[in-house]
Chains A and B, each alone.
Chain A
Amino acid sequence: MLFGIHWDTSSDLAFAASILPILLRGMVITIEATVLGFFIALVLGLVLAVLKAAPTRIVSWPALVVTEFVRDTPLLVQLFFLYYVLPEYGIVLPAFLTGALALGVQYSAYTSEVYRAGLEAVNRGQHEAARALNLTTTRTFTHIVLPQAVPRVIPALGNYLVSIMKDVPVLSVVTVLEMLNVAKIIGDRTFNYMIPLSMVGGLYLILTILASAGVRYLDLKLPKIGIPLK
């Protein structure tokens, strides 16, 4: 029994049918962790991207090193680090939040690169035109550069959403009850790993196919040249 739902081991088919609702409960957690982790990655990545683009090296260089460091070290170890080290400094977060934070930190290294490429792609001329119009730097950034950069980066960011989803099972090590952890527990208790683990594989395939189709749809639908200026 898990989440108050019993399983039926009378036959393979009955077993599979009875654990599906349990796995779907886990899937909800998986999706929640994905969305929260992605959101953190979007925000942190933007911060990193802006710091890396800073005109002084004192700011841009550390941001570059941090990006490289985060990108080159395993999510699992980063997660353990946050899970065990944060409480030592008085920050006690629920496992789910720590997990989402770890996902967000790991993927901020990737999203910051996407932002950078997107911002660079927006014509330098746009900056100059804005200056000629005497807009402030912040206004130029929020009203002219960002609206053009965003549609360009969304598909690439979307691909990372799919990657994050595939990394969520790592959170099982800090007891987050996402899909794989749920399947593992069912396996531990019934000694039948084959069915729950295979079902998780199948559910993952469905999720990634849907998510990838969504990303491709966005890629087709988004304006290629950016939102026209008012």
Chain B
Amino acid sequence: MEWTSYLPPLLQGAWVTVQLTVYSTILGAVLAFAFGIGKLSNNWLIKGVSIGYIEIFRGTSLLVQLFWLYFALPIAGQAIGIDLRLPPVVAGVLALGLNIGAYGAEVVRGAIQAVPKDQYEAGRALNFTPRQAMWRIALPQAVPEMMPTFGNLAVQNLKDTALVSLISLGDLAFRAENIRNFTQDSTTVYTLVLFMYFGMALVLTAFMKIAERSVGRWKTAGR
């Protein structure tokens, strides 16, 4: 069979991969900020929950988390009488987002802690509330510091989406496996798929670089 005939199904799969990456990266970013800031809270409950989330999701394997959400959670739901059967897309986005969010949370926490104490003091002297100081002073300075690592995490997340094929979601890796099953033409299929992932990673990296530059504009103003 001509290798070009593999392209339409593979492109369909790639589109699923792109969507999964986008949704789970957004979810991950939200969780990263929520729990990264939460870990710095003075409230022991918020702090404890944040630390627990970060440690559990960083300390276990993504595939274990994915299987747990997809296979084990429905059983827990059954036991308490709630239907917790998740569609593969939801389980996939949830597992990917929860996992990458835990890694991101540590990045967020580190970047916020790296904002000089002087800046908080200036904020206090101008009578900002602690919340305003966080949102108006600390975070805008911390975000550009997070961006390079966020770029790496986004690519990591793109690669990790391949795992959702194991709960039979029709992403790029899943389509590849199907075509291989059907044609036994493994060299062509997998070479093609590796290059497609590589291409998507390059685009994602370029996109993150643009985002990095745009949030750090003030640093390079006038240069």
Interface residue ranges, A against B (CB under 8 Å): 69, 71-78, 80-81, 84-85, 88, 165-170, 172-173, 180, 183-184, 187, 192-194, 197-198, 200-201, 204-205, 208-209
Which secondary structure dominates chain A's binding surface? helix
Contact, CB under 8 Å: A74 / B160: yes
27 interchain pairs, CB-CB under 8 A = A72-B198, A72-B201, A73-B201, A74-B159, A74-B163, A75-B159, A76-B173, A80-B180, A81-B186, A81-B191, A84-B186, A88-B186, A169-B61, A169-B64, A173-B166, A180-B67, A184-B67, A193-B72, A194-B72, A194-B76, A197-B71, A197-B72, A198-B72, A200-B60, A204-B59, A204-B64, A205-B59
CB <8 Å contact, A180 and B63:
yes
Nearest B residue to A165 via CB reads B61
Kindly supply a per-residue 1/0 record for chain B positions 44-86, scoring 1 wherever the CB is within 8 Å of any chain A CB and 0 otherwise. Answer: 0000000000011011111111011001100110000000000
Total number of B residues with any Cβ neighbor in A under 8 Å: 39
Which chain A residues border B55 with CB–CB below 8 Å?
Answer: 205
Q: How far is the CB of B20 from the nearest CB of chain A, in Å?
A: 12
Q: Which residues of B contact A170 (CB under 8 A)?
A: 63, 163
For A166, give its contact among B61, B76, B161 (CB under 8 Å): B61
Closest chain-B Cβ to A153's Cβ sits at a distance in Å of: 19
- For B60, list chain A residues within 8 Å (CB): 166, 200-201, 204-205, 208
Q: A180 and B166: CB pair below 8 A? A: no
The number of inter-chain residue pairs (CB within 8 angstroms) is 113
Decide yes or no whether B19 CB sits under 8 A from chain A: no
- List 4 additional contacts besides A74-B162, A193-B72, A194-B76; criterion CB under 8 Å: A72-B155, A77-B194, A180-B67, A205-B56
A204-B61 in contact (CB<8A) = yes
Within 8 Å CB of B128, what residues of A? Answer: none
**B205 contacts across to A, CB distance below 8 A:** 72
Q: Which residues of A contact B191 (CB under 8 A)?
A: 81
A184 to B68, CA, bound (A): 10
CB < 8 Å neighbour of A167 from B61, B65, B155:
B61
Tell me which residues across on chain A come within 8 A of B161, comparing CB atoms: 74
Which residues of the partner chain B approach A72 to less than 8 Å between Cβ atoms? 155, 159, 197-198, 201-202, 205
Complex Cα distance, B158 from A186, in Å, reads 30
Known A76-B162, A166-B60, A170-B163: A84·B190 in contact at CB below 8 Å: yes
Quote the shortest CB–CB distance from B48 to chain A (angstroms).
Answer: 16
Residue of chain A at shortest CB distance from B71: A193
Which residue of B55, B60, B165 has the most chain A CB atoms within 10 A of its CB atom? B60
With both beta carbons as reference points, the residue of chain B lying nearest to A65 in the complex is identified as: B198
The chain A residue with its CB closest to the CB of B201 is A72
Q: How many angstroms from the CA of A122 to the CA of B1 in the assembled complex?
A: 54
B176 within 8 A of A: yes
Interface pair B190/A77, CB less than 8 Å apart? yes
Contact B64 A73 (CB under 8 A): no
Q: Say yes or no: is B193 at the interface (Cβ < 8 Å to chain A).
A: yes
Closest B residue, CB atoms, query A207: B59
Q: How far is the CA of A166 from the CA of B99 in the complex (A)?
A: 12
B71 and A201 contact, CB distance less than 8 A: no
- Cα–Cα distance between A169 and B202 once the two chains are bound (Å): 27
| CB of B187 closer than 8 Å to a CB of A | yes
CA distance A88 to B205 in the complex (A): 34
Rounded to whole Å, the gap between the CB of B218 and the closest CB of chain A is: 29
